[in-house]
Structure 1
Amino acid sequence: MGVIERTWDWLTTGAHWSGTDGVWHRLGEHLFLTAVCLLISCAIALPVAVLLGHVGKGGALAVNISNVGRAVPTFAVLVLLLLSPLGTHGSWPTVIALVLFAIPPLLTNAYVGMREVDRDMIEAARGMGMTGGQVIARVELPLAFPLIVTGVRSAAVQVVATTTLAALAGGGGLGRIITAGFRLTDTAQVVSGALLVAGLALLVEGAFVLLQRLLDPMRRPRPKAAAAPGTAPA
């Protein structure tokens, strides 16, 4: 029996999907860790990017500093954190490593989106008496929304894929299926775990694309003006 047949057999065996070591349990752990890391990253990066993009100062430096993190492998950061005093604090080394990995695309896309808003529109909004907060909420954020969500989508997919490393630090997630397969020299289990991670990343990508289309304020249909009394509707 070849690898493909054995992989299919592993994926279609009900025992592999149930229990604390089953796919469903590991999937829940994977999604929970991904959500926590993504929320922390968004809470850190997006307010900074929006503020710097609005004032137009310091953003380029912040983006360049955050992009330095892309040159450092997440696995190397995770190992260093495990060897530090934080290594005895449960999942924190994994969370910190993944947050640092997710911040660059969030910060870069949000900042660029804010800076690409037409300056004439911003000046017109200010001329209408809008405050800085109103300009951000009513003008800049709606126009920067596509790029901001693109950054969130990119970070989410990267975190989903990289959360697999949590298994190397004793954490949960789908990576445990892969590491267990290596330990048992079970190629079918290793391939099955990799396919599950890849499939989850594709599903997250598709979900964010759909969410972007549904929530983009620039795509929402504008309400039609009411017809004047005594006139037939167009």
Structure 2
Amino acid sequence: MEMVVLENEPEVLMENISNKDNRDTSAAPGLKLYRCVAVSFGLLCILQIALNISLRPPLNHTNCISNSEDMTTNLTEERDELKRKLDDLKSHQNVLKSERDELKRTLNDFAHRSNNGWLYFSHSFYYISPIKKTWHDSRNDCLQREADLVIINSKEEQEFIQRWVKNLMWIGLSKRDGIWKWVDGTRLTQSLWCAGEPNNHKDSGEECGEIRGCGHDHGWNDEKCSNSNFWICEKKMAL
């Protein structure tokens, strides 16, 4: 076998090595430039971040505290307003309860008097006594019944009483310090006296008022308070 000798091979090899070195040398400036650009870009990013941080407005702790105080104040005001409303509701509830209890007492009193012979007319109950007593004793009896001797305020009330009265019945009218007054202290202004009355007959001290028959009607007469008569009690009770 014959050996082939490449006489020019060393030269070719040397030429290849030389070309490679030239390529590496020519590529080196581009790589350095790329690295410089990358480093510069990184520095710019870092500078931008630092600038953004420096320009960001600082956290205002004073505003936070102020907002917190405002919120606390608002909550306190709302709590106080709710408390006031609750107190108002409780107060209104107590008023309604008192009104309910008062109405219940009135209804019970109404039923009691209706079932025990009292007569009802125009917001008042009337009790007609079955026995006779003096004017003062008659009034005491009415007071014990949580009432008083009748006060006649109108002709209509007088006409109602006329349907039930016995002759000679005490009413809540008496003379005090020379002035005729009702048992509640009001002065007599409208009167239904019989003709010629009051006359204090023979100066006998007729200082108490009674209902009596005079003519075809019942009217008032003055009489001595110590006489014994029937009487009429009145209990005002509006429903």
Higher strand share: 2
Higher helix share: 1
TM > 0.5: no
Query: Which bracket does the TM-score occupy, shorter chain normalised?
Result: under 0.3
TM-score (norm 1): 0.25
